[in-house]
Structure 1
Amino acid sequence: MGRGGDGPLAVEDPRIEWLRSKTCSSLGIEEEDFNSLVNSEEKLAVFTPFLEGGAEEGTGENQSQLPQPKEPKEVKVAKVEMVKLHLREKVERKNLRARKEKVARHPSRRRRSPPQSTTGGDPSPAPPPKPKAVLKVALHHLPDSVVSKPAVYFLKLDAAARLEEEQMDELVDYGLLSEGPALSVLEEVLSQVYIPMLQLYGSGKPGANQINHDSSSADNSRNELLGNVQKFASQVSHAIQQLTGDIHLNIPNVLIDNLHKAADDYDIVSQLESALAEWTAVLASAIQRESEKVAVGKGPLAEIDFWRERNAALSSLYEQLNLPNVKRMVSVVETGSGDTNLLTSFKSQFGELTKLYVEAKDNVKFLTTLERHFKNISSGTLTQVLESLPSMMNALRMVWIISRHYSDDTRMGSLFERIANEIGDTVAEEIDVKVLFRMPPADATSKIELAKNVLEQWSEVYLKIREKIEISGRDARWEFDRKRLFDRTNYMASICGDLLQMVKVVDDFHKFLGPELKAVTGDSLGIDEVIQRVAAMVEPIENLAFDAFDKRYSSQWQGVDAKFTTDKEQIERATRAFIDTSFKKLRSAEGAFELLQNFKSIKSEGAINRQMMDKFNDILEQFSREIDTTREIFEANKHAPPVTRNQPPVAGAINWMRSLFQRIRKTMNRLTSEEDMLKEEAGHEVQRKYIALAKAMVVFEKHWFTQWRETVDNMAMQHLKQAIIKRETNEHGVSTVVVNFHPDLTRLIRETRYLDRMGFVIPDTALNVTLQEEKYHSVVEGLRSMLEHYHSVIGLCTGVEQNLLAKRLEKLEEILNPGFSPLNWNSLGIPDFVASCNKSINEFNSLVNQVQKNSSIIEKVVHTISVAVVVQEPPVAKSEESANLMDLQEFYEYIEKCRLDSVEELLHKYRTIAPLLGKIEEAVAGTNTARSPQLRAYYYYWERAIFQALNKMVLNGMKAFMGILNSRNARKSGPMGLKPPLFKVQSMLVHPEVVVQPPVTEVTKFLSRLVRNLVECTRPFVRWMDGTCLETPEQHVNNEDDEPVVFTFYWDVAANPAVIKTMLALNHTIQKTIAGVNRFMESWRKQQHLWKQDKNSVLDKFAARIPSCGEFEEKLSRYKKLANEIWEFPKFKDVDFIRISSYSLVASIRD
């Protein structure tokens, strides 16, 4: 079968496969259970509207013929297609077990459950077969018959769209609907998600740029939505309580069609009498249980919860007894039963139930209108509580008028008492005296005032509504116990008033004892001490051991308040005394006057403020002293004024004078604003001193500016005619070229700029120079940069390189000559001069870089030669056995091979130096002959460096060889420990002498040759011809058959005293070791009697004596013992770096 719009759906359609996979995984069923839905084309057609799109449920049209909907111009909410697959019988056994467990948890319901039919048989029957899952499919809506069954739903995001395989995950949402009602889930979503979200949104503050009208409108909409959602959540909760009532009556399964026939049927009447008796007992128990219940909690919400719980508990019984069939059953008993007591008892209990139910229902209805207000006062902010009071009180008035239950003074008074307690608890929670004084004063004051307003408004709003009720005259008056309603809140309001006064007092102290007072008096320590006393004043309040809002502790609170007042008065007295002392040593009249002005705006008790306002005379006296001090400073420094950093002399002097005057002028302006101050005698004296000092300063300013104006023009013209660069010689005698821009010109420009800002009229010449400041600055910076580059390039050259580039340096200096003359600061050709110099310097820098690049390579080669390792220590033997040591020949060949390999590598690098010098010659002299006269000294420099490197290489080699030898000497081995010998020799018996193989003379010869070969390392390095970098050719002397002479570094290195001294030291070390070998061999020669005796003659003499067997045994034993002793002798002996192996010698003597 095909797929898509060209034909009916197929079982193999990937989209059907997708639906099968999601359904089976969600419901936990097998694929065979799903296949029953798609095993025919008729059943597959149910899926066509959902998958293909465009058709309504129940249509039989061919999907391929449906017109495709056009795309709308405006975005609309698409119609959602829904496919729901229902599981009818999946876990029947599981449900049965769950019902049994539920009955076991509630034994009171067990007797009311319908009887379970049982069948006889084995007490342990085999488990029933697994129930088969039955699936149903529906489009658009879930049928009512299966609303409690598990279902998987699929939602299309676009109803008209045709679903493709690759779009299923993107365009289809699916999920699982669990079995059972969903009201509890709805309640949780409302209370845990939407209500907190709306409350959180409402707590945010609008931005500064928001329009107040729009913000208010948005807040009103949010509050309205929040109220509606809370109301809806309350209704859902109420519905859940009613639906989940736990009292269920056992109603007989009797269908009454005819009342009289049923009344005549004895069995039916008897069955109904038993049911009625049981109902009466259940009703009595329920009524008794509800009558004993009381509201849990002190707040008004507890009252609402109490009546809702009673309504939920009784509504189920009431509704069951009011079922039509139940009413007919009661009528049958009334007609056919003769038990009047049963009917009377039932009607009595039912009447009591009806009374309680109606009361609970009415109370819930009335209290629900108050729930939003109760929630505000229990969990809202103080602002919300304050806003809720008027509307809540009006709602309470309506309940008082309409409700039968709450029209009673006791019941309504109890509700009012609950509200009062809740308001008190909310305020007590918000106002925490332990942290109140640590908050910003403005926030603390605002919070306390708000709390006090809430507490006061509670009684005021109550009294207003009570007055309205009395004026109307239609309703019963409110005559509730005011002590119970307002005693606590009024006391809390008075405590808030005390706290508010305390916070304001502490805030006034902190404002007064602020930085301004410290700046004026300068006595920071004294002020800090008073601040500490203020902090100590609030500690008893922060550390209260009781609840400040509890009236039981009113006497304790009065003691705390009295102590606070006492501390406040003491601090005020100390502060006034401190102010009197501080004003006597005032340092700033302006600061003191500023402080007085600030005190006008500081709200305080008044005593400190009045005392401060009496200090005007002290301020005038202080200002008079400040004028005198300023006059003394001016007179002492007017001939050599102190100038601030980076200011020129004239402008700096005038600025110094103006800064002095500005200090007293600012204070004088402030004092002038208070006309009453200057009317006194002290004020007139201050004015006289101020005017006299001002006139003296004006004369000073004119004198300095006039003197500068008369000399500035000549000075400017003189310096502008000077050369732009000059030579200077430093203290070390080194001559350098510097920019010749005279400092007076720089000073002139700065003077002009500052004086112009001060408002002086500047001469034309000075003004023109200043206007060209950027030009001069650019020229000076260009010259300075060029000269810095020039000196840096010259500084890069070493002494030998400066000698090498002497001609180029002369040409470079010739380029600088125009800067000495004729160019001056009025010349127009300075930029061209700088450009020409920079070009020549860059060319010279390029040449220096080329030379230094090649010379660095040569330097690396020379360094490699100087640090070359021409002597390498042989590998250390891993065992003490002599077999692992080299013999003399192997040792000699190893050392020589390492030396020759190193020399060959160095020789190859040495021969790369001449080509590099050729490159330098080509760059400097333009030739590549290796014999340029211009580079003669340069060739000599490098040949000398190579000679020193070869000397260092030979000396390092000899020292290394000496170290190798000494590391085997017990006295000179050092901290690294004694190393094994370098090679071994054999001691053996060559009858009749004991000898060493190889001989000692040969050992000496090989070792001496190694020492000489270290100097021979320099023989391959041929010297250069004089004035060149070419190697000297071979020289034939006299006879051509003689070996030609080659001039190498060997002869010079061999003649080096240091080399000769080191060679002698090495040979001395070798000779000491050879002497040790000889001494060891001499020790063996002392035992020569063991092998030089004639054994045959000795034996013949012994035999001639005809010895006994005992003598033979003794003789043999003695010789055996001697042989063993000889064999126990050491098999080898280490003498420094030589090991003497004696194994062969010992074996020969023993044998």
Structure 2
Amino acid sequence: MRTPSSSEIERILGRIKENSQNYFLNNIKFLKCKWENLDEKIEQALTKAHKNEKTLTIMKKILNLSFDESIETIKECFQALCSSIKMIHKDTESSDEHKNILILLQSFSDQLIELCKNAIEEKYHISECTLCDADSSSLSELISTLQWFLQVNEIYHKEFETLKNELNVDSKESEFEYFLKQTFRNLDTFCFCIVRIIKLFTIIRQSQELTQHDLEGIKNVTDIYNSSIVLFNEKCEDLLNSDINIFNEAFYEFCNSVPLCHKALLECIEKNLESFEGIEDALKVLYSFRNILKEEDIRSYIEIKDETILKNTKGEVGDAQTDEQRKLYISLCALSFPEGTNEIPWSQYLYRMINYLQTSESLFKWQESQDLIYINYTKSHTVLNFEEGLREAWFNEIEKAASDLVQPLIIKSEAESIFYVNFNPEILTLIREAKCLLKIGVEIPEKAKEILHQEGCLKRNSYGLQIILCEYNHFYSKIKPVYKSLLMPLLDDLEVTFQPGMENLKWISEDVEQYITSCHEKLKNLEGFINQINNVVENEIECKLKNTSKIVLADLPEDSQSFTTNYFIETQEKWKKCECHKLKIINIEVENSVDKLIELLSSYCLGHNLCPINPEESPKLVKYYNWHMYQALLQLTRQSLRSLKNKLCGTTRGTDSCSTLLFDCCVSIDVTGCIISPSINDLQKTVNLEVSAILKCTKEVYNWGQQEVPENEKTPFYDWIIKDKEIIKLVLLLTGALQGLRPKVTVFMEQFSQYKWLWIENPEENEECKEKIENLPNLEWINNIPDIEKIGALKIETTEIKRILTEKVIEWKKVCLKQ
């Protein structure tokens, strides 16, 4: 309402003063009526706005509902929504407003459908996955979600049906009824699809749960189910958004294939029940199928089978105490239960069978049920007493097995100097038995529980000690006997490290893990030290000794190559000079490596505060490798002399082989006849010089321990080598190696010596020319003489003598013809 201005007030006062009171009162009444009408409209609009706000708040709350809300909360929200609509309907007089309300409700129903679709798609993604690949747990959650939405729809219908009755709307003539049906049409269609989807997913879940049973033929049954599901999925890929006609057609075809699947499943169940030997296995299978399958025809079939098996159970329980059945069941239990506890499952099996009869509803349909109950009650007490006896027998063995836990961790075999883990495997058997007894519900004593509580620690410590001792045995195997005596302080220190495990520490001690860690670190450090020692021994000493024994002091070709004596002497001198220098260096290096080894052993003992090594052991190590150095030199000398002998005289497989050729010779003439150049004596002298040179190669390789002795006073290995019997034998063989060839050479030379008169006598002065010409050698015979003759280690050339003979024969013939 507008506030009057000051000029208006002055005019009013002027009119009052002018006696215009009636005019003023009329204006006041008019303004008051106008204000009251305006205030009433504002009040009505404000009330309507509050109602609309409340209605929108309720609708917003409903649209924001999640699938975790309880049904009671949803019911309260729908009741509040219906109350708001009821108030709006009563306050609205025009039909257009009614239409707007119903249109709003229809939009709300469509939005509720979209809410369900989006929530399901967002959480489960059923439009993107194949139905056969869906997870069983996800299917269970999805079915619960869909059932929740059906409950929401049912509440929605009930509340609006109540609203319609309260509004007293005529269902035949009211336009409100028509719009109300339109409102629920889409929602009812969607819920109709959801009901079928739930049935579809229930069958899919059943098929997946059936695959978890390892039964004969169950895979064929699930394949039939899966093929029907795949056909449905091909026709209707998106379940929530498919056309209703396509969905119905695919669903009807799927429902027609379900009886075939059920028939195959019943045949599979029947076949497996016939294969079971024990009644308990059959009852378990029927119980699991009863929980999985929900169809009435299958459930009725399972109940019939269950009743038949229960009737047979009476006889089995009556004969259950026979030895054959007990042994059979115990043999089956032995696969999963230890030897001390495998009879307890037998007693519990009987007790379960009896209780199953007692609690079965089918039992009370029989006439003799009371007698059977009494018999089973009596047998149950017998079974319980039997189980109690087994438990007591097992409890008596606990103390005996547990006493081994107070024994030392390791023991040592004095005869073999080997450590062993002092862990009784029966303790692990005790732990396994305790686990099995707890699994089947048998109470075990506190001592067994304590051991079971220490299971991880015991296994870890026993395994750790086994690793430690394996590392020790591996470390001990790396120690070479040659220097083992020098490592006695180190081995004694290692045994001191092991000492707590042989005396003080027990399996129940708290410091076992720390003890294992300290032993592991000690072995790790020692193994690194042993590797360092072995590296010196193998790579710097033994490897060089081995290579030394393979050195050859005579450079003899392996093929049929031969030499002149001068060339042979020159090449052998060069070769021996190089090899002698190599031997001298290797000898010094090996000696230094042995000193390095001793120094390394001594420094480690002093650095770790151990007892120093025995001073008497170091010279033994030096003497040991000094002897091996001598043996290597002796071996290479023998091998060099033996290879020279084989080259000169050949091997036992043949002495005339081409591989024995060594020296080049030729046949020449003198006044006495034919001679071979160089002669056999000269060649033997060359061999003797070679033998002497081979022996002298070790003259500059000095014996060990002479670092402070002057060079000219040092004793070489040569003095030892020349005294070896094998060396002496080879030298004697080589000094006469070529003498055996002398007869063969003489025989070969006689074919030329018989014609020595050709170059000794003068044909012009000889009077008996005619007689001589008859004894001349044939030129054809001369040409047929080989140019090279091979005799032992000699390669004799005959080219020169053949030329001389040919010239002399021609000369004699010419002179004789002139005469």
- Regarding TM over 0.5, the answer is yes
8 Å contact 2:661–2:793 — kept in the other structure?
A: yes
Quick check: 1:902 aligned with 2:813? no
1:123-134 aligned at under 5 Å gives the runs: none
1:1086 is aligned to 754
8 Å contact 1:589–1:623 — kept in the other structure?
A: no
Taking the aligned partners of 2:226 and 2:451, their CA distance within structure 1 comes to 62
The residue type paired with residue 660 of structure 1 is W
Taking the aligned partners of 1:769 and 1:511, their CA distance within structure 2 comes to 48
The residue type paired with residue 1084 of structure 1 is F
8 Å contact 1:865–1:953 — kept in the other structure?
A: yes
Taking the aligned partners of 1:637 and 1:774, their CA distance within structure 2 comes to 34
Taking the aligned partners of 2:454 and 2:550, their CA distance within structure 1 comes to 61
Q: Which of the residues 565, 569, 574 maps onto 1:888?
A: 565
Structure 1 position 772, deviation (Å): 4.8
2:635 is aligned to 952
1:812-851 aligned at under 5 Å gives the runs: 812-824=494-506, 837=519, 841=523, 844-851=526-533
Q: Which of the residues 388, 393, 400 maps onto 1:702?
A: 388
- Which deviations, in whole Å up to 9, do the C-alpha atoms of 1:1122-1147 show, x marking residues without a partner? 45643443222122432101112222
8 Å contact 1:671–1:677 — kept in the other structure?
A: yes
1:916 is aligned to 593
Taking the aligned partners of 1:1092 and 1:682, their CA distance within structure 2 comes to 148
Structure 1 position 897, deviation (Å): 2.9
Taking the aligned partners of 2:255 and 2:493, their CA distance within structure 1 comes to 92
1:590 is aligned to 283
1:794 is aligned to 476
1:213-232 aligned at under 5 Å gives the runs: none
1:413-562 aligned at under 5 Å gives the runs: 440-441=227-228, 510-514=264-268, 516-522=269-275
2:16 is aligned to none
8 Å contact 1:661–1:694 — kept in the other structure?
A: no
Taking the aligned partners of 2:500 and 2:753, their CA distance within structure 1 comes to 96
- Which deviations, in whole Å up to 9, do the C-alpha atoms of 1:151-189 show, x marking residues without a partner? xxxxxxxxxxxxxxxxxxxxxxxxxxxxxxxxxxxxxxx
Taking the aligned partners of 2:388 and 2:225, their CA distance within structure 1 comes to 59
- Which deviations, in whole Å up to 9, do the C-alpha atoms of 1:545-599 show, x marking residues without a partner? xxxxxxxxxxxxxxxxxxxxxxxxxxxxxxxxxxxxxx99999643785799799
Aligned residues: 579
Structure 1 position 629, deviation (Å): 5.4
The residue type paired with residue 388 of structure 2 is K
CA shift in 2, pair 1:1096/1:902, >3 Å = same
Taking the aligned partners of 2:351 and 2:620, their CA distance within structure 1 comes to 77
8 Å contact 2:228–2:254 — kept in the other structure?
A: no
The residue type paired with residue 1150 of structure 1 is T
CA shift in 2, pair 1:597/1:772, >3 Å = closer
Q: Describe the SS at the equivalent of 1:737.
A: strand
- Which deviations, in whole Å up to 9, do the C-alpha atoms of 1:750-772 show, x marking residues without a partner? 55555555555554555455545
842-851 vs 899-908, greater mean Cα deviation: 842-851
Structure 1 position 1007, deviation (Å): 2.3
- Which deviations, in whole Å up to 9, do the C-alpha atoms of 1:447-485 show, x marking residues without a partner? 9999xxxxxx99xxxxxxxxxxxxxxxxxxxxxxxxxxx
- Which deviations, in whole Å up to 9, do the C-alpha atoms of 1:950-994 show, x marking residues without a partner? 2332333344445545779994689xxx45833311110112321
Quick check: 1:861 aligned with 2:544? yes
Question: Over the residues paired in the alignment, what is the CA RMSD in angstroms?
Answer: 5.6
Q: Which of the residues 808, 814, 823 maps onto 2:490?
A: 808
Question: Share of identical aligned residues, percent?
Answer: 17
Structure 1 position 807, deviation (Å): 3.1
TM-score scaled by structure 2?
Answer: 0.57
Taking the aligned partners of 1:831 and 1:439, their CA distance within structure 2 comes to 55
CA shift in 2, pair 1:678/1:1058, >3 Å = farther
Q: Which of the residues 670, 676, 679 maps onto 1:996?
A: 676
Taking the aligned partners of 2:432 and 2:323, their CA distance within structure 1 comes to 29
1:283 is aligned to none
Q: Describe the SS at the equivalent of 1:925.
A: helix
Q: Describe the SS at the equivalent of 2:551.
A: coil
CA shift in 2, pair 1:1032/1:943, >3 Å = farther
- Which deviations, in whole Å up to 9, do the C-alpha atoms of 1:597-629 show, x marking residues without a partner? 79998899x9xx999958965773377347735
1:297 is aligned to none
1:917-1066 aligned at under 5 Å gives the runs: 917-926=594-603, 933-962=616-645, 964-965=647-648, 971=654, 978-979=658-659, 981-1024=661-704, 1029-1030=705-706, 1033=709, 1047-1061=715-729
Q: Describe the SS at the equivalent of 2:664.
A: strand
8 Å contact 1:1033–1:1046 — kept in the other structure?
A: yes
Q: Describe the SS at the equivalent of 1:440.
A: helix
Q: Describe the SS at the equivalent of 2:555.
A: coil
The residue type paired with residue 1142 of structure 1 is T
Structure 2: runs of 5 or more not aligned: 1-116, 128-222, 238-243, 607-612, 808-819
Q: Describe the SS at the equivalent of 1:1130.
A: coil
Taking the aligned partners of 2:583 and 2:118, their CA distance within structure 1 comes to 82
Taking the aligned partners of 2:743 and 2:473, their CA distance within structure 1 comes to 66
Q: Which of the residues 779, 797, 802 maps onto 1:1141?
A: 797
1:250 is aligned to none
CA shift in 2, pair 1:722/1:618, >3 Å = closer
8 Å contact 2:326–2:346 — kept in the other structure?
A: no
Q: Describe the SS at the equivalent of 2:319.
A: helix
Q: Which of the residues 121, 127, 139 maps onto 1:210?
A: 121
Taking the aligned partners of 1:1048 and 1:901, their CA distance within structure 2 comes to 18
Q: Which of the residues 1094, 1097, 1119 maps onto 2:765?
A: 1097
The residue type paired with residue 412 of structure 2 is R
- Which deviations, in whole Å up to 9, do the C-alpha atoms of 1:78-126 show, x marking residues without a partner? xxxxxxxxxxxxxxxxxxxxxxxxxxxxxxxxxxxxxxxxxxxxxxxxx
Taking the aligned partners of 2:371 and 2:722, their CA distance within structure 1 comes to 103
- Which deviations, in whole Å up to 9, do the C-alpha atoms of 1:315-363 show, x marking residues without a partner? xxxxxxxxxxxxxxxxxxxxxxxxxxxxxxxxxxxxxxxxxxxxxxxxx
8 Å contact 1:596–1:613 — kept in the other structure?
A: no
TM-score scaled by structure 1?
Answer: 0.42
2:346 is aligned to 660
Quick check: 1:872 aligned with 2:625? no
Structure 1 position 860, deviation (Å): 1.1
Taking the aligned partners of 2:751 and 2:372, their CA distance within structure 1 comes to 120
CA shift in 2, pair 1:990/1:619, >3 Å = farther
1:628 is aligned to 319
- Which deviations, in whole Å up to 9, do the C-alpha atoms of 1:291-336 show, x marking residues without a partner? xxxxxxxxxxxxxxxxxxxxxxxxxxxxxxxxxxxxxxxxxxxxxx
Taking the aligned partners of 1:972 and 1:508, their CA distance within structure 2 comes to 96
Taking the aligned partners of 1:860 and 1:1102, their CA distance within structure 2 comes to 77
Q: Describe the SS at the equivalent of 1:805.
A: helix
Taking the aligned partners of 1:1148 and 1:678, their CA distance within structure 2 comes to 139
- Which deviations, in whole Å up to 9, do the C-alpha atoms of 1:18-64 show, x marking residues without a partner? xxxxxxxxxxxxxxxxxxxxxxxxxxxxxxxxxxxxxxxxxxxxxxx
The residue type paired with residue 702 of structure 2 is V
8 Å contact 2:472–2:523 — kept in the other structure?
A: yes
Structure 1 position 933, deviation (Å): 3.1
The residue type paired with residue 801 of structure 2 is L
The residue type paired with residue 901 of structure 1 is C
1:1131 is aligned to 787
Q: Describe the SS at the equivalent of 1:984.
A: strand
Q: Describe the SS at the equivalent of 1:1097.
A: coil
1:313-328 aligned at under 5 Å gives the runs: none
Taking the aligned partners of 1:449 and 1:747, their CA distance within structure 2 comes to 58
Structure 1: runs of 5 or more not aligned: 1-205, 217-435, 451-456, 459-492, 523-582, 878-883, 1036-1043, 1106-1114
Structure 1 position 643, deviation (Å): 7.2
Q: Describe the SS at the equivalent of 1:1095.
A: coil
Q: Describe the SS at the equivalent of 1:1048.
A: coil
